[in-house]
Amino acid sequence: MTADKIYVDASRPSTLRHAGGSVECPTLHEAVIAWRALPEKDRHQATIQVLGGPLYTADEIDRLYHEPKPE
């Protein structure tokens, strides 16, 4: 199951974007928490943009993992 995980630096500033607007979050971890709090219908089309980094889709957000990647 390790292959399904997306290892990230959860301390990076991020923006959650969803149907109701966008939320600036001081960390990716907080953006994921805010994403999980969205109604299910909004989560499916939401994204998280890491400042200066990747854009994660709803399918990817659920697989984000913020622990060191195993060797």
Q: Quick one: average pLDDT of 36-50? A: 95
Is 40 contained in some domain?
yes
Is 58 contained in some domain?
yes
Is 71 contained in some domain?
no
| Residue 70 pLDDT > 80 | no
How many whole angstroms separate alpha carbon 51 and alpha carbon 60? 17
How many whole angstroms separate alpha carbon 29 and alpha carbon 3? 20
How high does pLDDT run on average in the chain? Answer: 91
What domain count does the chain have? 1
Domain carrying residue 11: 2-65
pTM: 0.88
Q: Tokens 């697989």, residue? A: 63
The band of 1, judged by pLDDT with boundaries at 50, 70 and 90, is very low
Element (H, E) at 36: helix 28-37
Q: What is the pLDDT of residue 66?
A: 80
The band of 47, judged by pLDDT with boundaries at 50, 70 and 90, is very high
